[in-house]
Amino acid sequence: MSKVTRVATFNPPNDAWGGDAAFEGTCRRGELRGIIKINQNNCVGCDTCTAFCPTDAIRGSLGVAHKISVNRCVNCGQCLTNCPFGAIEQMSFVDTVMQKLDDPNAFVVAHPSPSVRVSIAEEFGGNPGDLTVNRLYNAFEKAGFHNYDVNFAADQTILEEGTEFIRKVRYWALGERGDDLEHMAAHPFPHFTSCCPAWIKNAETFHPQLLPHISGAKSPIQMGGALAKTWAAKYVWNVDPRNVYMVAVTPCTAKIFEASRPEFNSASQYLIRNGEIPSDTPSFQDIDAVLTARDIAEVFRRKHINPLELSDERATETMNVYTGAATIFGNSGGVMEAALRTAYFILSGNELSNPDLIAVRGYETDIVEATIPIPLKAYDGKIIEVKVAVVNGASRNIKAIVERLIDDRNKYHFVEVMNCPGGCVNGGGQPVRTMGTSWLHPLLPLPLRA
């Protein structure tokens, strides 16, 4: 088995959130910047990183230490995971989270993504997928966390994104009109997924003409943060929502950026509006900190916890209940597959005879296309052919693919875009192996199944 490399990290500097200006380059006030950086002392200028950057954000001549343009970077971390010399570093909130775990007034919640359970075993000498989810939950609890699986929120994302797509079908494909559909006039086909923060940042910066096409649904992590501090704090944990400290545990470095975005403070706005917390309470983010798979392994090491050695037994908890549709979000095509299952059921009134929509799974293909026939119960079984595409491993060629989609906007109804090859399972926050591009490595974590 290849050696897992410890990636250099750094604490956020004082100016990481920017100054008082509304915008600084492509970042708004309060948004984190410089999440990925190149160590000038370690970079040999081999130029490997530039081949994996989706936005041409890396500058430097061959043989000269490279630098990352903050204004062009989408924080995906593919340059980091593919650097042969370990010269690229990631901003880390491990120290901040460790302090919160020691704070008796803090109700610290671990919010783990499905891809983390696939990869975390490698950090402790195991193989991809060795760690069961119950062992991971037990490790979180032993470290001082409460558990709230991202899959719980991912099921809600499926309902949001799936029903949003259905409204577009009714308005644009079937010509229906009504008060519940009129806002779709400004949101035409093709419908793009919104779960990947690197893709969203890419679209905002380089392809703003696509913004009306992108789903308005939050990512599962952001849905989870808002629900944790409202519904779960009140009805499940019975704690003051102001004491809930949400820690997303993710395979993705771009989630660090996403959590800092100013619009993701829904919980505090809701709680103030409904009189559940004082009106003068300062606004707070739905997700307080983001740890990558590498970061949470460091937390476990500091706490002297090896998840592989813990019990596989655990009682079912409310916040850890989910479906297999949520689990496949971490694999390319997973969001599409899950949303199509929902759309098929609502439009046809029946479950898919075979819910495994293998045709939309990306794996190592840059873009896959499929046509899914759906009989419409409201139209006497009339068949609508839903044309979909899944963009996989966008870091290699996303610009060319997006331009192709822009040139022919009528080609597809639904498009999933994931920045990282294979989807979240190969995100920039996953374990890194020495001297090898991770997306081609023979030990790449296996695709998740429902």
Q: Which two tokens stand for residue 322?
A: 């989910």
What's the pTM?
A: 0.92
Residues 6+ apart with CB under 8 A from 268: 229, 277, 281, 282, 283, 284
- C-alpha to C-alpha distance for 428 and 67, rounded to whole angstroms: 18
Q: What's the farthest any 2 CA atoms get from each other in the chain? A: 68
Q: Are 212 and 189 in contact, with CB atoms under 8 Å apart? A: no
- Which three-class secondary structure state does DSSP give residue 3? coil
Question: Phi and psi dihedrals of 248, rounded to 5?
Answer: -75, 130
**Domains along the chain?**
94-152+219-320 (3.40.50.1780), 158-217+325-426 (3.40.950.10)
Those residues whose C-beta lies under 8 Å from the C-beta of residue 286, and which sit 6 or more positions away, are 222, 225, 226, 228, 229, 246, 259, 264, 265, 266, 267
Intra-chain end-to-end CA distance of the chain, in Å: 27
CB 255 within 8 A of CB 153: no
Contact by Cβ (8 Å): 281, 268 = yes
Strands 414-417 and 382-391: parallel
Q: How far apart are CA 188 and CA 172, in angstroms?
A: 7
- For every residue of 363-378, DSSP letters joined together read TT-SEEEEEEEEEEGG
Catalytic residues: 161, 164, 195, 215, 255, 258, 263, 424
Q: Write out pLDDT tens, residues 60-102.
A: 999 999 999 999 999 999 999 999 999 999 999 999 999 999 9
pLDDT of residue 394: 57
When pLDDT is averaged across residues 135-150 and rounded to a whole number, the result is 97
Sequence-separated (6 or more) residues with CB below 8 Å from residue 414: 165, 190, 191, 336, 339, 340, 386, 387, 388, 389
pLDDT cut 70: percent of the chain above it:
94
- Which residue type is seen at 208? P
| C-alpha–C-alpha distance, residues 142 and 314, integer Å | 13
The residue-averaged pLDDT of 134-148 equals 97
Question: What is the pLDDT at residue 447?
Answer: 33
Are 220 and 112 spatial neighbours (Cβ–Cβ below 8 Å)?
A: no
Q: How far apart are CA 194 and CA 222, in angstroms?
A: 11
Neighbours of 15 (CB within 10 A): 10
Give yes or no for a contact between 437 and 395, defined as CB atoms under 8 angstroms apart: no
The partner residues of 191 in beta bridges, in order of sequence, read 414
Residue 397: the pLDDT is 64
Amino acid (1-letter code) at residue 275: G
Q: What is the mean pLDDT of the segment spanning 187-208?
A: 93
Inform me whether the pLDDT recorded for 437 exceeds 50.
no
Query: What pLDDT is recorded for position 427?
Result: 93
Could you read off the pLDDT of 357-415 as tens digits, one per residue?
877 877 677 888 889 999 999 999 999 999 998 887 655 566 777 777 777 777 899 99
Alpha-carbon gap, residue 449 to 44, rounded angstroms: 40
